[in-house]
Structure 1
Amino acid sequence: MFNTFIAFIVNERGATAVEYGLIATLVCVALLGGASSAGVSLSSLWNNNAEIANQALVSSGE
């Protein structure tokens, strides 16, 4: 039993896959954070444009 445990601890098979998985996870988190920030900015931009268009329509009498 002890030898099996030691063999498990010493075995490095799959370590590279785990490292790549962690890197991919970090990249995804960074992309999601950036997309969320960009989404808020774009939402504000479109809301501002809609407000300007509404003000133009109201002032023209439509």
Structure 2
Amino acid sequence: MKKTGAKFMVVLIGLVIIFKTQLTNLVNKIFEKITSESSGI
């Protein structure tokens, strides 16, 4: 029981790290779009 719990935690942390990276990339892309559009005005 304890071993599966530890494995689950490792998988969960791995997913969080991957998701955080994807989210950061997405936010950066949105910011780039906003800044390029506002500078074009």
Measured against the shorter chain, the TM-score band is over 0.9
Give every structure 1 segment of 4 or more consecutive aligned residues whose post-TM-superposition deviation is greater than 3 Å: none
Could you list the per-position Cα deviations for residues 13-57 of structure 1 after superposition, in whole angstroms to 9, with x for gaps in the alignment? xxxxxxx11110000000110111011001000000000000011
Q: Point out the structure with the larger helix share.
A: 2
Q: Structure 2: 5+ residue runs without aligned partners?
A: none
Scaled by the length of structure 1, what TM-score is found? Answer: 0.64
Q: Structure 1: 5+ residue runs without aligned partners?
A: 1-19
Q: Within 1, Cα distance between the matches of 2:2 and 2:38?
A: 53
**Structure with greater Cα Rg:** 1
Scaled by the length of structure 2, what TM-score is found? Answer: 0.93
Size of the alignment, in residue pairs? Answer: 41
The alignment-based identity, stated in percent, is 17
CA RMSD of aligned residues (A): 0.5
